[in-house]
Amino acid sequence: MEDNVILRVATKILTPYILLFALYVQFHGDYGPGGGFQAGVIFASGFVLYTLIYGLETARLVLPLRVASLCGALGVLIYAGVGIATMILGGEFLDYDYLNSHDAEHGQHLGILLVELGVLTTVFGVMVVIFYSFAGRREAK
Amino acid sequence: MNAVGFLNYWFVVVLMMIGFYILIAQGNLVKKIIGLNIFQTSVFILYISMGKIEGATAPILNSNWSVYSNPLPHVLILTAIVVGVATSALGLSLVVRIHEAYGSVEEDQINEMDRSV
Amino acid sequence: MMSHLPVLQVIVPLLAAPLCALVRHGRTAWAIAVASSWVSLWMAWKIFQLVQADGAISYNLGGWPAPIGIEYKIDALSAFVLIIVTLVGAVVTPYALKSVGREVGTSREALFYAAFLLCLSGLLGIVVTGDMFNVFVFLEISSLSAYALIALGRDRRALTASYQYLIMGSVGATFIVIGIGMLYVMTGSLNMADLAILLPELPSNRTIPVAFAFLSVGVCLKLALFPLHMWLPNAYAYAPSAVTAFIASTATKVAIYMLLRFFFTVFGVHFSFSEMQLGIILLPLSLIAIFSMSLVAIFQTNVKRMLAYSSLAQIGYIILGISFFSNTGLTAGILHLFNHAIIKGSLFMALGCVMYRLNSVELENMRGLGKKMPLTMGAFMVGGFSLIGVPFTAGFVSKWYLIQGAIEKGLWPVALLILMTSLMAVVYIWRVVESVYFSEFDESQNDDCTEAPLGLLLPTWALALLCLYFGINATLTTSGASLAAANLLRIGS
């Protein structure tokens, strides 16, 4: 679809705003509908749109499959890492109070922020890997 | 105790039966997964409609409101939606592999091919 | 660290899984998998000792107290099932190196171990948790990774088997979610211990029996009880050997654990068996399962399929013991859960050795194998005798308790049926014996067939020797099972 001018220009303009909106949804999960999973899917959809218009090879130059699957694994490690950190700092697993030694409420904020970041990374990575696997099937045959 | 008061449960039952029927009766493997999705969606509606409290707002802290809907069903359903997405992705990737291996996504044709081996 | 054991039991495999996915090299991923499964076994053993000494362990996730937050509760039954799941995991993981390398291929090996560890983590999570929705989450984690693992088989029928399992398993899990939702609507709590207190106090309504029905159908789909068993034979027959050995020994057993938790701990013995008449429903279904599945197993030519139908019959035995809802019956059911896991684990691993050398597990291709692969077939025979219930094997102990439970209830026909179906097990094991020991080896087909490598033989014989050990000295298993049974009945009543 690269030779279709309207689609090409619209994608180029829209993609940064899609990614920005994903980050907005991510950080406003406390104050409105949103959070890690929704943000991850919207973030991935920006890349899906880019792949649809510009083709799989170009998209693979922008975001290689290896990086996406790395993101997928990394998010789980971030989430579990936060849990391990709270256990080391003296609390139960995922007891965010202990993340900030002075103020429990700030600890809760930090904890939620980090685990949502982990969720964002994993969901984004997995969605992109799924899309690349399905889209790349025809050329693999 | 009237039927209209249970309107959300009627929607749930109708969707659930539609989804389950598609799951069982359709021979096309992709359509079965669609049926599974509809079936799971009916369960989401069951949970979320149960969490709504009359006269209450969405479960987001706001100084103007004092009564909030129950946030726990929303959390449970977020998890269940992710599980549904993962199941659909896995099912559809299996269908792609089956199509490459058998050349068809119709269940009766695949069973025929397996039987003739 | 000791106080965090319940959560570490689940987190260690869960952390090791993305590490395996990040590492591309198959050997390194295997090493990570072996290390984490052995650490899990050590932790399960420590937890078992703690529970035997002090009673149930409780752990609040995130520091939130019990009915508000998610609670991990490990009592005698959980500790017992933890031991068997981690034991099978710890034995199958070293076995998987050669077996998976041959059957799945080296390019996907690291991802295989990632899925394997996720499955192990999900199964352990189901056993450890005390929160209803958490059970669903871990159930889906283990089920989804199981579907992926089964689809890695070489035969293209592994794909359709995995697809069928996916559809049926997702329906079962959705039914469980519906049941949990109905319980939540009526009581406002998701904690199992809390529900056990709140449910009897509710005024009589229609929702709780319907929730009971949904939960029982969903769980019976997962544990492949008679009418809902169609996914199991294909899934076991066409999956890679290590996957079959692991899933046959753990997935259905953990589903049986879920059944025990739901019916004895959450709903209570009085509600489940007196009001909802669960015993009368489970008894005929399990009898039909035992009889018909043993009969079908006799006519199979693929030995893996034969053992899959035999597994369905053994699940029937376990449910039969549970349906008696007496102390002996429940002990028999839980004991057979443990013994059957060890028996089937060793049988499927022995078949994996055969698959490694012959690339086939058809009866006619296995002729004369007794001379070429004596140690492998010896392990298979130990498992086979245990399946029949020969004295001095593990299967004999559980069948003994089962017959005792039947006689205590006055159900003499059931005791006779148990003996008769054990004779049917003799028939299908004899078919294998006849082909392996009393037929001539076909030299033209496989001329380089020697004994299986040590890496495959050692885990197989480890479980086979455990079969013999727990048949001769069953004090550990019977004491664990009877403690678990007493715990369930006391909490429920």
Residues C128 and C142: their CA atoms lie apart, in Å, by 14
As given in the structure block, the two tokens for residue B117 are: 């081996």
- Binning pLDDT at 50, 70 and 90, where does residue A46 land? very high
Token digits of residue C193: 């211990």
C437 belongs to a structural domain: yes
Residue C493: pLDDT over 50: no
pLDDT digits (tens, 9 = 90+) for C359-379: 888 888 888 888 888 888 999
Give the structural domain span for C319. Answer: 277-493
CA distance B110 to chain C (A): 9
Distance from CA of C281 to the nearest CA of A (A): 41
pLDDT at residue C65, rounded to an integer: 86
Residue of C nearest to B40 (CA): C174
Nearest chain A CA: its distance from B60 CA (Å): 6
Q: C283, C418 in Cβ contact below 8 A?
A: no
Least confident of A39-48, C294-303, C435-444: C435-444
Domain that residue A125 falls in: 5-140
* Cβ within 8 Å, pair B80-C157: no
d(CA A22, CA A109): 20
Q: Residue C402: pLDDT above 70?
A: yes
The region of weakest confidence among A114-123, B83-92, C365-374 is C365-374
C-beta atoms of B43 and C147 within 8 A: no
Instruction: Tell whether the model's pLDDT for residue C293 goes beyond 90.
Output: yes
What is the per-residue pLDDT across C66-105, written as a single tens digit (0 to 9) for each? 888 899 999 999 999 999 999 999 999 999 998 888 888 7
B46 interaction partners in chain C (CB closer than 8 Å):
178, 181
* Dist. CA A41–CA A21, nearest whole Å: 11
User: What is the Cα–Cα distance from B1 to B9, expressed in whole angstroms?
Assistant: 13
CB-based contact C11 A83, cutoff 8 Å: yes
Which among C18, C22, C61 has CB closest to A93? C61
Do the beta carbons of residue C398 and residue C332 sit within 8 Å? yes
Tell whether the model's pLDDT for residue C227 goes beyond 50: yes
Cβ atoms of residues B101 and B20 within 8 Å: no
- Which candidate, C189, C213, C215, C214, places its Cα nearest to that of C202? C189
pLDDT higher than 70, residue A2: no
Residue C54: its pLDDT value, please? 86
* Residue showing tokens 């000791």: C2
Distance CA C468, CA C382 (A): 8
Touching check for A79 and chain C: CB below 8 Å? no
Number of neighbours of residue C483 by Cβ within 10 angstroms: 19
CATH classification at residue B107: 1.10.287.3510
Domain count, chain C: 1
**A92: nearest CB among C15, C21, C62:** C62
> Are the beta carbons of A37 and B81 separated by less than 8 Å?
yes
- Interface partners of C (3+ CB pairs, < 8 Å)? A, B
Mutation site for B-interface testing, chosen from C160, C205, C206, C302 by largest number of B Cβ within 10 Å:
C160
Q: Which residues of chain B have a CB within 8 Å of the CB of C177?
A: 43, 80
**Could you tell me the end-to-end alpha-carbon distance of chain C, in angstroms, rounded to an integer?**
35
Q: What is the pLDDT of residue C158?
A: 93
Is C75 in a helix, a strand, or coil?
A: coil
The alpha-carbon gap from A45 to the nearest alpha carbon of chain C, in Å, equals 23
Closest-CA residue in chain B for A33? Answer: B60
Give the nearest partner residue to C167 out of B36, B72, B97, using CB atoms. B36
The pLDDT of residue A26: 93
Q: Which two tokens stand for residue B19?
A: 């989804």
In angstroms, rounded to a whole number, what is the distance separating the alpha carbons of residues C73 and C6?
Answer: 8
List CB contacts (< 8 A) between C176 and chain B.
Answer: none
Q: Is the pLDDT of residue B96 over 50?
A: yes
Q: How many domains is chain A partitioned into structurally?
A: 1
Cα B81 to its chain centre, rounded Å, is 8
Average pLDDT of chain C to the nearest whole number: 90
Span A16-37, mean pLDDT?
Answer: 90
Q: Which residues of C touch B82 (CB under 8 A)?
A: none
Asked if C151's CB is within 8 angstroms of B91's CB, the reply is no
- Best residue of B76, B94, B100 to probe chain C, by most C CBs closer than 10 Å: B94
% of chain C with per-residue pLDDT over 70: 98
pLDDT band for position A140 (50/70/90)? Answer: low
**Domain enclosing residue B112, as ranges:** 4-60+67-116
How many residues can be counted in chain C?
493
- Look up residue B70 and give its two tokens: 């129950």
Q: Do B90 and C170 touch (CB under 8 A)?
A: no
Q: Are B40 and C174 in contact (CB under 8 A)?
A: yes
Q: Is residue C166 assigned to a domain?
A: no
Q: 3-class DSSP state for residue C358? A: helix
Which chain B residues are within 8 Å of A112, Cβ to Cβ?
A: none
Per-residue pLDDT band for C143 (boundaries 50, 70, 90) equals: very high
Query: What angle (nearest 5°) sits at the alpha carbon of residue C112, between those of residues C109 and C115?
Result: 155
Q: Count other C-beta atoms under 10 Å from residue C450's C-beta.
A: 9
The count of domains in chain B is 1
